[in-house]
Amino acid sequence: MNSKIFFILLICVLSISSSIFADGFIHFKPRIRRFLPSRPAPMPVKPQFMPVKYHRVKVDIVNQVATTTIDQVFLNETDVDVEGTYIFPLPEDSSVSNFSMYMNGEKIEGKIYDKDKARKIYEDIVRTMKDPGLLEYMGRNMFKARVYPIPKHGEVRIGLVYQQTLKMDDGMCRYEYPLDTERFSPKPLKDCSIAVNIKSQVPIKSLYSPTHNVDTKIDMKEAVCGYEETNVKPDKNFVMYYTVSQKDLGLNLLTFKEKGKDGYFLLMMSPGEYESKPIPKDILFIMDTSGSMKGKKMKQAREALKFCVNSLAKDDNFNIISFATGINTFEKNLQQADSKKVDEAIEFIEKLEARGGTNINDALKIGLKMFSKSTNPRMIVFLTDGEPTVGMTDMKDIVKNIKKSNKTNTRIFVFGVGNNVNTHLLDKIAQNNKGVPEYVIPKENIELKVSSFYKKISQPVISDIELDFGKIKTSDIYPIILPDVFQGTQLIVLGRYTKSGASAITLSGNVGKEQKEYVFEDTFTADSEKNDFIPRIWASRKIGYLVSEIRLKGENKELIDEVVKLSKEFGIMTPYTSFLVLEKSQKMDRWELSENVSRSIKRKGQARKMAMDSFSGSNAVRESKSIQSMRQTNVAVRSTVNSVKSIGSKTFFLKYGGIWTDSNYKDQLKTKKIKYMSTEFFQLLKDIPELGKYFVLGSKLIVIYKEQAYQVVE
């Protein structure tokens, strides 16, 4: 066995693409108790960071002017009173309007330092605390206040309010809040939240965060979004985009391109909320009423179906099919959703009972025939809790039959209830028919999940969408098949591009019974690293599609090789790259494993493979949900594994000798060496502030920036 230490890494979850910042923090130097003269003098005490109890942020944006209100509580867990220093890195062009902290009834004053003074303070703290986390702050202004005394086992509450004017670029505004407490809070926060309220003179079309899963609501010229977690150590700054436009349909482009390489783009498309009349739709609800649906499942399914029917617009056309051993239809054909038919449908739903087998093939074939004369957007909501047991039961034949019967390009949205569903069958039905599969696992509420989903698809705006990027050559676009756009929702498209420059982007589709075109002018940048979260989201989506193809169609060496390549480059876990060893043999171009590690990987790999191969069961459902999450992801999430770090578009591996190494680094590349904490080190950060977000990794680092390799050495 090689005497060198093997560094094992687990590529896990998705990795964050945003820059590493930190919110306001308090650092302090614990007091040293007096020692007797006969005893040796104590070693100098290293300053420490004070734990954060909670961190709450409220953001009010009115016509691009953002007011950020911060409420933080810090804990002194030591046995003595301490003196601390509160520091907050301020955004560019911001102004502090209020700082509130009272000690013994007296308000504490704070000071604002410009970039040059702030840089010197940051450098001193980094040198003293030997913590590179503050390097990200280089080039920013700073708010600083002395906090004394902070009572032993006590807490101090700090409030800070600052304003900034957000820049608008072609109808798009970007807001960022520094939220990285992982480096500076020794333990998790009790709660952390951000609430954003936006008011605009121009209608708001979309609201999107690439860093956090946020709840959003748009109401013409007002919008809100929120993020909240408990018992958490936030590890990334909060980034949010919102777009405004007078047009019915809003379209905005974000790009990322390193010099000499192909670029990445993210396209946001949204109608927002508007007052025009919704487009009529044709919708069919097909519900499994076999014996396995008996009890609570059946009751929840009935309530979900009643909600959907009651939410239909008057101009919609609908029908209901229940299936078990046989097929039972509410009406022979689609019916207009007037009040009389809706009431009759509710009576039909109330009488549904669970008994018999599961005839999936015939239920879908009969349902698809009802759309033969349809000209509106067409969709099926299909709910089942089991595998086919009656009629045609072979999965391949069912998939082929349904695809052949779908002559009207109807989208099929599938709900699998419980763990006994055939996930391969349901995934194929959804994906082959331009829909998505959803799964309701045991203990989840069917009514809540179905009704929540229906709200999103209840008001179609434009269907059968196509995109033309003009003279710009694009590739690897995800989603491959563009879904319909619904009122109050947004479509996010990611892809690659080669040529740069201004171009017309044409979006065409059906608006009701009319074919319409929308033309937008935008620029695909030649060299811009501003939106460095885009490549990681794109890679996650592509891996999701590749793994889905492998799972549903069988293993293919070319697809597996592409998955492994993307996994290594972007640090994203897949069933084929769970563990990697970072020590590379000089003579062998392969990854090596120790005997014990090989056994561990084999066991984990077999478990993942079983989930990939299984058609039903909890593992199969979990695997399908995981793949769908990757295929549809709009958020870049940082790896939780200590030996893999993702910063911006880069992934770093912890290699032999404790060196964090850029995944794009090759041994033959010449590197410029810089001594950690030297004058040259800080001068380089002054000249190239962008390196700060990589240098936070520590005193041993190799990074490639603009075709130059830099190595930080102790």
Helix (H) or strand (E) holding 215: strand 215-219
pLDDT confidence of residue 131:
63
pLDDT at 363: 95
pLDDT-derived band at 430, boundaries 50, 70, 90: very high
Q: Which residue has the tokens 């331009």?
A: 434
pLDDT value of position 155: 86
The pLDDT of residue 405 is 94
Would you tell me how many other CB atoms lie within 10 Å of the CB of residue 98?
A: 10
Three-state SS for 341-382 is: HHHHHHHHHHCCCCCCCCCHHHHHHHHHHCCCCCCCCEEEEE
| Span 431-481, pLDDT tens digits | 999 999 999 988 888 888 898 888 888 888 888 899 999 999 999 999 999
- Would you list the DSSP string of 533-575? THHHHHHHHHHHHHHHHHHHH---HHHHHHHHHHHHHHT---T
- Give the range among 20-24, 170-174, 554-558, 594-598 with minimum mean pLDDT: 594-598
* 257: DSSP letter: B
pLDDT value, residue 596 = 40
In this predicted structure, the answer to whether residue 579 has a pLDDT above a threshold of 70 is: no
- Contact partners, residue 475, CB within 8 Å, separation at least 6: 495, 496, 497, 498
How confident is the model at residue 20, as a pLDDT? 28
Query: Are the CB atoms for 548 and 631 separated by under 8 Å?
Result: yes
Residue 659, token pair as written in the block: 């060196």
Which pLDDT does position 578 carry in this prediction? 55
Here the tokens at position 407 are: 């002559």
Query: What per-residue string of b and e applies to 487-497 under the rule 16 or more CB within 10 Å gives b?
Result: bbbbbbbbbbb
Task: Tell me how far apart the alpha carbons of residues 250 and 272 are, in angstroms, rounded to a whole number.
Answer: 8
pLDDT at 8: 24
**Cα dihedral sign, 314-316-317-319:** negative
Asked if the bond preceding 40 is cis, omega within 30° of 0, the reply is no
For residue 438, the model assigns a pLDDT of 92
Most confident of 167-176, 194-203, 243-252, 641-650: 194-203
Most confidently modeled of 119-123, 476-480, 562-566?
Answer: 476-480
Distance in angstroms (rounded) separating the CA atoms of residues 571 and 180: 20
User: Is residue 36 a contact partner of residue 195, using CB atoms and an 8 Å limit?
Assistant: no
Report percent pLDDT > 90 for the chain: 40
One-letter amino acid at 646 equals: S
Q: What is the pLDDT of residue 4?
A: 32
User: pTM value?
Assistant: 0.83
Span 486-506, pLDDT tens digits: 887 889 999 999 989 999 999
List the beta bridge partners of residue 5: none
Instruction: Mean pLDDT check: name the lowest of 582-586, 613-617, 706-710.
Output: 582-586
Alpha-carbon torsion 360, 361, 362, 366, what sign? positive
HSE (CB half, 13 Å, CA atoms) of 151? Answer: 7
The mean pLDDT value for 520-537 works out to 90
pLDDT tens sequence across 359-405: 999 999 999 999 988 888 899 999 999 889 998 989 999 999 999 99
Across 115-124, average pLDDT: 80
Got the DSSP string for 60-90? Answer: EEETTEEEEEEEEEEE--SSS-EEEEEEEEE
Q: How many CA atoms within 13 Å lie on the side-chain side of 575?
A: 24
Instruction: Give the 3-state secondary structure of residue 101.
Output: coil
Separation CA 578–CA 565 (nearest Å): 13
Query: pLDDT over 70 for what percent of the chain?
Result: 85
The DSSP symbol for 424 reads: H
Q: What is the mean pLDDT of residues 18-38?
A: 51
Least confidently predicted of 141-150, 273-282, 336-345: 273-282
Calculate the alpha carbon distances from 70 to 55, 56, 79, 83 in Å. Answer: 7, 6, 28, 22
Q: Is 562 helix (H, G, I), strand (E, B) or coil?
A: helix
Mean pLDDT of the chain: 83
First to last CA, the chain: 29
Q: Higher pLDDT residue, 592 or 635? A: 635
pLDDT at position 31 is 55
* pLDDT score recorded for residue 101: 80
Confidence of residue 1 (pLDDT cuts 50, 70, 90): very low
Task: Tell whether the model's pLDDT for residue 190 goes beyond 90.
Answer: no
d(CA 66, CA 699) in angstroms, rounded, equals: 37
Alpha helices in 210-338 (DSSP H): 296-310
Instruction: Identify the H or E element spanning 641.
Output: none
pLDDT computed for residue 21 by the predictor: 32
Residue 287 and residue 305 in contact, taking contact as beta carbons nearer than 8 Å: yes
Total residue length of the chain: 714
Calculate mean pLDDT across residues 663-675.
87
Q: Does position 293 have pLDDT exceeding 70, yes or no?
A: yes
pLDDT at residue 321, as a whole number: 96
